[in-house]
Amino acid sequence: MVVKSMFDKAHGVAVSISINDFSTHYTLFDHDHLIGNMSWLLSKLSKISGMQYIKIGYDKAWWVKGDTGGCVYMVSEVVEMIEYLVRESYIKSFGGIYRQDKGIIMGGKSSGWLSDCSLMVDEFKYIDGKVKLGLIDDADRLKYFRRYRDDCTSLNVDNFMNIASHIYPPSLTLTHENDQIDCANVLDMEVKIHLGNVTTKVFCKTDLFPFDVISLPYLDSNLDSGLCYRVFYGQVIRFQRLCTFRLDFEARTKFLSQILFQRGYKKGPLQRQFSKAVEKYIIEFQKWALPIDFKVWFDNIVSTGSNISLGSNINADSQTSQQTLLD
């Protein structure tokens, strides 16, 4: 939702969008660079907190002034553990055992966090360096920039690839993903720029596949039926948060309902989950004009019109009528 929040804040000023992806995010991450950034980050946080020790609890960690017992480590010890995780990774292949001297293990529990923190340090140092040199305009150019793991999203930055070469280590390769400057698919959103505003709706690449993808529970599985219906509850909230226009939200809700009906789901329980979701998050839903009766709203969504295929542009004829929502 951080990226979606950025889109919402760029009201009236969005001109172009650039989506870039680290194609070598895990496979070629330079060990020295990553460990150096983690050491810098922990030292920086230690200095800010005024403490040199980290205590590890059951589900969290926190700074302490000294060895108070339990799992307590000095910053230098934490850096040593990080270095061990990064440098001492081995792969068995082709009859031999090899040590990984570049990159970090894909799918490793620590890999995502370590790479994310390292890239965050690179970004901080770039912005901090520009500010200290008085180059405020250069720093401000990345006002509408967000990164989620290896996906970089920026608005109104035409030369992000060039800027990125001064931020990130040369071992990481960025690729440009979108062909047009006014539209793109990023994370689970289909994004379009219209009259300076960024509009979004749900994007799921499996919608475009020429075959069905099974990704939702069946009632005759060994899952509790109540849990199955609550999946719909969660998806309704997700659709609302990702859709700028109510018609897109309704179309996606109808599409999902059709799939669930085919799997034996009953209309009544789905209707109740829909109403609960709207009532629970009514403030978020009130970005649109809402019907008074949410159960009737759900009935209208699932019963009006023909079956919907989301491989097509479902709101092509509603863009003009809904533009007032953006003004």
Domain match, 48 and 180 both: no
Domain match, 319 and 262 both: yes
Give the confidence band of 25 by pLDDT, cuts at 50, 70, 90. Answer: confident
Residue 255 lies in domain: 204-325
Domain assignment present for 106: no
Domain match, 129 and 73 both: no
Rounded to the nearest integer, the mean pLDDT of the chain is: 89
Domain assignment present for 308: yes
Closest CA to 23 of 151, 180, 110: 151
Give the confidence band of 216 by pLDDT, cuts at 50, 70, 90. Answer: confident
Assess whether pLDDT exceeds 60 at residue 309.
Answer: no
Round to whole Å and give the CA distance between 149 and 120.
10
**How many distinct structural domains can be found in the chain?**
3
Domain match, 36 and 151 both: no
Assess whether pLDDT exceeds 90 at residue 55.
Answer: yes
Domain match, 6 and 119 both: yes
Domain match, 122 and 252 both: no
Give the confidence band of 53 by pLDDT, cuts at 50, 70, 90. Answer: very high
Q: Could you tell me if 67 and 53 are in contact, meaning their C-beta atoms sit under 8 angstroms apart?
A: yes
Least confident of 76-80, 87-91, 107-111, 275-279: 107-111
Rounded to two decimals, the pTM is 0.82
Round to whole Å and give the CA distance between 265 and 279.
22
The tens digit of pLDDT for each residue in 78-93 reads: 999 999 999 999 989 8
Assess whether pLDDT exceeds 80 at residue 312.
Answer: no
Domain assignment present for 309: yes
Task: Name the domain boundary from 72, 101, 130.
Answer: 101
Give the confidence band of 206 by pLDDT, cuts at 50, 70, 90. Answer: confident
Domain assignment present for 320: yes
Domain assignment present for 208: yes
The tens digit of pLDDT for each residue in 138-174 reads: 999 999 999 998 999 999 998 999 999 999 999 898 9
Domain assignment present for 59: yes
Assess whether pLDDT exceeds 80 at residue 316.
Answer: no
Assess whether pLDDT exceeds 80 at residue 196.
Answer: yes
DSSP code string of 1-61: -HHHHHHHHSTTT---EEEEEETTTTTS--HHHHHHHHHHHHHHHHHHHT--EEEE-SS-E
Give the confidence band of 181 by pLDDT, cuts at 50, 70, 90. Answer: very high
Domain match, 17 and 135 both: yes
Domain assignment present for 199: no
